[in-house]
Amino acid sequence: MDSDALATSPETRLAAMGITLPRTAPTPIGSFRNVRRSGNMVYVSGQGPVLADGSLHRGKVGSEVTAEEAREHAKLVAINILSALRDALGSLDRVGGVVKLLGLVNADPDFERHPFVIDGASDLLAEIFGESGIHARSSFGVGSLPNRISVEIEAIFEVSAQLADQPR
């Protein structure tokens, strides 16, 4: 990788933003894996707003949690997604792009700002991956989420075509 590419790599951008990923991704709370790769696609299971100490951001958005707080929770979820992705690929520099997010908001029935909340994750991914971080997305409210977490997001990434055949 040349020095210009390295200066704008996802790992470099992440460091420049002062974001440190957790050493390991949160452990799944069911019979599934955090990450599954199929060909050049990488699927990251739904992640929640888990802090480094294992505590969770919980509550109904719109009544117990503000939209602005939930947006920050979604940003934390994106950080946990990146941690799971780095565990699987060895480096975020192997990512060719963000394909799609599915964002779930544990919302009060009258809450309508689901896209605003999930933008917390989308904006962070765009900052880290640049143009290839702009993705397709769905976001909607649900009546509940596991452990009463405020936000859950799953993601699909593609592996860089230049690195797809290289072992981790």
Lowest mean pLDDT among 8-22, 25-39, 91-105, 144-158: 25-39
What angle is formed at CA 141 by the lines to CA 121 and CA 148, rounded to 5 degrees? 85
* pLDDT for the residue 163: 56
Left (φ > 0), alpha (ψ -120 to 50) or beta: where does 156 sit? beta
Q: Bigger pLDDT: 117 or 168? A: 117
Share of the chain above pLDDT 90, in %: 80
Half-sphere exposure of 95 (CA within 13 A, CB side): 32
Here the tokens at position 124 are: 């962070």
Residue 7, pLDDT above cutoff 70: no
**Residues 100 and 154 sit within 8 Å (Cβ to Cβ):** no
Q: In what order do the strands lie in the sheet with 151-159?
A: 35-38, 41-47, 151-159, 95-106, 136-142
Only one residue has tokens 């699909």, namely 156
Go through the domains of the chain in sequence order and give each one's CATH number.
3-23+33-159 (3.30.1330.40)
- The pLDDT mean for the chain works out to 91
Query: What are the two backbone dihedrals, phi and then psi, of residue 12, each rounded to the nearest 5 degrees?
Result: -70, -45
**Residues 151 and 127 sit within 8 Å (Cβ to Cβ):** no
145-164 confidence digits (pLDDT tens): 999 999 999 999 999 876 55
Question: What is the rounded average pLDDT of the residues 3-29?
Answer: 80
